[in-house]
Amino acid sequence: MVDLHSHSTASDGSYSPGALVALALERGLGALALTDHDSVSGLPEAEAAAAGSALRLIRGVEVEISFGPGEFHLLGLRLEDIGGELAEAMDALAKARNDRNGKILARMRDAGFPATMEELRLVAGEGVAGRPHIAALLVERKAVRTRQEAFDKYLAKGRPFYESKECLELGVAMRMMHDAGGLAIVAHPLSLFVSWGRLASLMDEWKELGIDGIEAFHPTAKIGQCRRVERMARERGFRVTAGSDFHGAIRPDRKLGKTAGGLTIGDEYLAEIGLA
């Protein structure tokens, strides 16, 4: 069992990088990719925790790409160099995320749900504060019953408290991942919210651009949808990956080593990214 998509407190996960590695070992995973949002800062801790253990720690990152109508995320997997331009770009995006948090909190205050940056930092703990933590504040304010409801009603794209974030252009993000020695993988493509025909056209564009693969299996999609995405990806010669997008308590429905429909992520996906 492996997992090629997970998050720690270096972005918006509940577990520190070291604790995430410990959990992966406890669950019997053979490999784990740490793919924090706009951050590679958790990788040294995760690597240190995995050193000498049965777990292969795969360096990764997840960045948001400028796109509409849905959200476009790009995974960098098997990174070799996590310094230089990549680290600088991630630091700039983290700062932009903090600025975005302040704008969202201002929208909340205007709507009668006051919250401060200090309160947000307390909820986030040692992690980088983001929308999942703002969702937790909305639950505390009894604006909603669950964090998912907070996204559905207030925080998702097109909702009242949504604030666009600074994103990278696809070609720029892909180049940085390649320059870092890694692969560029389109994450959960159904979050783009486009038709199947449009997705096929996008895949053709991505292939021509030099994108390496598609994360066909993700827990927010149905099995049939995932298999359709996989077929489309393989027809175009893409690598195919699968992940849990694990965040911990923030999103308790997602389990390490499991993907759509509760399917176990097998080690054949290591071969997909050249790590067999």
Q: What is the mean pLDDT of residues 202-226?
A: 98
pTM of the predicted protein model? 0.90
- Domain extent, residue 106, equals 98-155
Same domain as 186, residue 57: yes
Q: Can you give the pLDDT at residue 152?
A: 94
DSSP classification of residue 262: G
Same domain as 63, residue 21: yes
- Judge contact between 105 and 117, C-beta under 8 A: yes
Q: What is the CATH number of the domain that holds 123?
A: 1.10.150.650
- As a whole-number percent, the residues of the chain with pLDDT over 70 amount to 100
Same domain as 177, residue 81: yes
Q: Which whole-number Å values give the CA distances from 159 to 110, 151, 176, 240, in the listed order?
A: 15, 8, 32, 32
Q: What is the CATH number of the domain that holds 62?
A: 3.20.20.140
Q: Is 19 inside a domain boundary?
A: yes
The Cα–Cα gap between 273 and 206 comes to 17
pLDDT confidence of 79, banded at 50, 70, 90?
very high
For the stretch 18-58, pLDDT in tens is 999 999 999 999 999 999 999 999 999 999 999 999 999 99
Same domain as 244, residue 173: yes
Same domain as 40, residue 59: yes
Buried b (16+ CB within 10 A) or exposed e, 174-191: bbbbeebebbbbbbbbbb
The Cα–Cα gap between 216 and 239 comes to 10
Same domain as 145, residue 81: no
Q: Is 24 inside a domain boundary?
A: yes
Question: Of the candidates 121, 136, 155, which is a domain's last residue?
Answer: 155
Same domain as 79, residue 30: yes
Q: Is 161 inside a domain boundary?
A: no
Give, to the nearest 10 degrees, the angle between helix 131-140 and helix 117-124. Answer: 110
For the stretch 123-182, pLDDT in tens is 887 777 888 889 999 999 999 999 889 999 999 988 999 998 889 999 999 999 999 999
Q: What is the mean pLDDT of residues 241-246?
A: 98
Q: Is 194 inside a domain boundary?
A: yes
The Cα–Cα gap between 218 and 195 comes to 18
Same domain as 262, residue 150: no
Domain count along the chain:
2
Same domain as 260, residue 147: no
Q: Is 160 inside a domain boundary?
A: no
For the stretch 81-138, pLDDT in tens is 999 999 999 989 888 888 999 999 999 999 999 999 999 989 887 777 888 889 999 9
pLDDT confidence of 193, banded at 50, 70, 90?
very high
Neighbouring C-beta atoms of residue 30, cutoff 10 Å: 16
Cα 154-155-159 angle, rounded to 5 deg: 60
Same domain as 174, residue 103: no
Supply 14's token pair.
Answer: 């509940």
The Cα–Cα gap between 68 and 87 comes to 26
Same domain as 260, residue 173: yes
Same domain as 258, residue 226: yes
Q: Which whole-number Å values give the CA distances from 42 to 38, 65, 166, 234, 250, in the listed order?
A: 11, 21, 21, 32, 18
Q: Can you give the pLDDT at residue 97?
A: 86
Give the closest residue to 224 by CA, choosing from 243, 185, 184, 196: 196
Q: Is 52 inside a domain boundary?
A: yes
Statement: residue 270 has pLDDT above 80: yes
Give the closest residue to 163 by CA, choosing from 104, 99, 92: 104
Query: How many Cα atoms occupy the beta-carbon half-sphere of 178 within 13 Å?
Result: 11
